[in-house]
Amino acid sequence: MSFPDRKEDQVRRMLEGPHPVLPPDLAGRAAGRGQRMLRRRRAARTVGWAVLLAAVVAFTVWAAVVHPWAGPPADTTPPLEGW
């Protein structure tokens, strides 16, 4: 028997064998876990957007107060030439 045929036979034997007994409440537990995962993911996304919004507001307020785009004021006067 070649290698792929042996694997196929093993799979067929596993599928024909006795199936394990599943708990009767498995579907309900799986649905509850899925709902919890979705709720956590939604909460994490909401927190992420809130943090991003707070960062944008903080940057906007900082930029409005500090004016980082303006050059620093000159501390000395330019030299006088031509007098």
Instruction: Answer yes or no: is 43 within a domain.
Output: yes
Give tens-digit pLDDT for 2-49.
Answer: 566 888 998 888 889 888 899 999 999 999 999 999 999 999 999 999
Q: Does 38 map to a domain?
A: yes
Q: What is the CA radius of gyration of the chain?
A: 34
The residue type found at 19 is H
**Count of domains for the chain:** 1
In-domain check, residue 30: yes
Domain-embedded: residue 42: yes
Q: Per the structure block, which two tokens stand in for 76? A: 């000395």
pLDDT above 80 (res 61): yes
Which residues form the domain of 56?
26-60
Domain assignment present for 44: yes
**39 is a domain residue:** yes
Q: Is residue 49 part of a domain?
A: yes
- For the stretch 16-46, what's the b/e string if a residue is b when 16 or more beta carbons lie within 10 angstroms of its beta carbon? eeeeeeeeeeeeeeeeeeeeeeeeeeeeeee
Tell whether 45 is covered by a domain. yes
